[in-house]
Amino acid sequence: MISQNGKADQLCVLQLGMHERGSGGGADRIFWDLFDHLANSPDLSLSAFFFSHRSATVEERTGEFCLGSSGLSGGQRLWNLRRAVLAKVADQSTSRPSIVVSHFALYASALLPQLAGLKHVVHFHGPWAIESAIEGKGRFNVTFKRLIERAVYSSANAFITLSEAFRKVVVAEYKVNCELVHVIPPAVNLQRFVPGDRQQARERLGWPQNATILLCVRRLARRMGLDVLVEAFKQVAGAHPDSLLFFGGSGALRDELNSQIASAGLAKRVRLLGFIPDENLATAYQAADLSIMPSQSLEGFGLSTLESLACGTPVVVAPVGGLPESVEALDTKLILRDKGSESIAEWLDSFLSGKLTLPVAEECRRYVELNFSWLSIAQRIKKVYSQVANE
């Protein structure tokens, strides 16, 4: 970007995130990895605004602004964010243009109505209101979220979606001009998610050495299909007594899943591991024989898919949302016939019987290195930011 005096100006990018580093969740990891890979760009000045979620205290680095706990009331969080971001906008001189980059509609709404007068790029991670409806939220709750989304998205100059599937959602659900939507997949931290020795990884985690371990890293929410996976595993567990199913994640369905597991007689075969801290996540993928993504709806891409592949562990995915886009160029055998329990059980039986030939660790890793490196993905995103700033 060139100013009137012929010198390069820095573009001030004000990123509105959700939670602190290491708090868990694909959207948070994408937010922070992107921030880190753009932070060294000489033509950008980055600021990250977020709330603490799991940490009592948060160490702020250059350009990072923690606005309090996510346990604050919604009104207080929005006020804190509005005050901090608009003050930052006001600080910028006319020779230093700025854009707002939002990752969550609720927090972006704190800047209304001024948001309509700012350059604004939306990273669309999912339809908030529709997800809430699927999770059984009340009509008022869903309607309120839909109004927020529409108000925020109407101010956007561009959208970035993780998949072609979510591009279609943005256009159909929010009546967005398709020319404003850029499909850019997520990337993986290739320094953190690396292949490792399976036996050593299991020893570190205290997992059994001689079992075939199936791993599902998902938030324990309705649309993730965890109950469907338990039902599928029930159908094949008897024929494959050395297999185990582990779930990594926290959420509202924990008690319900525990009851389902107990009723199925699988208490010794299925484990709910709870939230897996970031420092143990790569180890968990390394320790597993297979990762499973049984989502039933609204899956934008599935960052866990790429993280597992980067660790050398193959992944099987349901044909839902952007999940097929994450693995189809690697091996179409990694895509289930459909998302039902019978289809999952049939696939698992073939896998556990040794009838399926899947990509080996080296192939999984190479696939991610070639297609989902932050070195290339961050530059594609930066290009969108620059285009919007120059419009």
**2 within a domain of the structure (yes/no):** no
Q: How far apart are CA 356 and CA 113, in angstroms?
A: 55
Domain assignment present for residue 332? The answer is: yes
Question: 212-217 and 243-248: which strand pairing?
Answer: parallel
308 shares a domain with 228: yes
Residue 119 belongs to domain with CATH number:
3.40.50.2000
- Helix, strand, or coil here: 149? helix
Domain match, 26 and 79 both: yes
Q: Per the domain annotation, does 6 fall within a domain?
A: no
285 and 244 within one domain: yes
Do 149 and 91 share a domain, yes or no? Answer: yes
What's the rounded Cα separation, in Å, for the pair 379 and 382?
5
Here the tokens at position 372 are 């989902």
Q: Are residues 254 and 284 in the same domain?
A: yes
Element (H, E) at 119: strand 119-124
**Cα–Cα distance measured from residue 175 to residue 289, given in angstroms and rounded to the nearest whole number:** 42
Q: Please tell me whether residues 203 and 147 are part of one structural domain.
A: no
Please answer whether residues 160 and 124 qualify as being in contact, where contact means their C-beta atoms are separated by less than 8 angstroms. Answer: yes
- Same domain? 231 vs 135: no
* Bridge pairing between strands 64-69 and 98-102: unpaired
Do 163 and 236 share a domain, yes or no? no
| Rounded Cα distance, 245 and 146, in Å | 36
**Are 324 and 229 contained in the same domain?**
yes
For residue 16, count CB atoms less than 10 angstroms from its CB and return exposed for 0-12, middle for 13-18, buried for 19 or more: buried
Burial class (CB in 10 A: 0-12, 13-18, 19+), 370: exposed
- Residue by residue, pLDDT tens for the chain (391 residues) are 444 443 347 899 999 999 999 887 889 999 999 999 999 899 999 999 999 987 767 777 889 999 999 999 999 999 999 999 999 988 765 556 789 999 999 999 999 999 999 999 999 999 999 999 998 899 999 999 999 999 999 999 999 999 999 999 999 999 999 999 999 999 999 999 999 999 999 999 999 999 999 999 999 999 999 999 999 999 999 999 999 999 999 999 999 999 999 999 999 999 999 999 989 999 999 999 999 999 999 899 989 999 999 999 999 999 999 999 999 999 999 999 999 999 999 999 999 999 999 999 999 999 999 999 999 999 999 999 999 999 8
Tell me how far apart the alpha carbons of residues 102 and 15 are, in angstroms, rounded to a whole number.
Answer: 6
- Is residue 40 assigned to a domain? yes
Q: Is residue 284 part of a domain?
A: yes
3 in a structural domain: no
Q: How far, in Å, CA of 20 to CA of 229, rounded?
A: 31
Q: How far apart are the first and last CA of the chain?
A: 11
Phi, psi of 118 (to 5 degrees): -110, 155
Residue 1 lies in a domain: no
Q: Which amino acid is at 339?
A: K
| Alpha-carbon span 335 to 268, nearest angstrom | 28
Task: Specify whether 385 is located in the same domain as 333.
Answer: no
Tell me how far apart the alpha carbons of residues 381 and 122 are, in angstroms, rounded to a whole number: 11
Number of domains in the chain: 2
Asked whether residue 365 falls in the same domain as residue 386, the answer is: no
Determine the structural domain holding residue 163 and report its residue range.
11-187+373-390
Q: 5 lies in a domain?
A: no
One domain, residues 101 and 33: yes
The pTM is what?
Answer: 0.91
* Beta-sheet pairing, 315-317 with 44-52: unpaired
54, 23 Cβ separation under 8 angstroms: yes
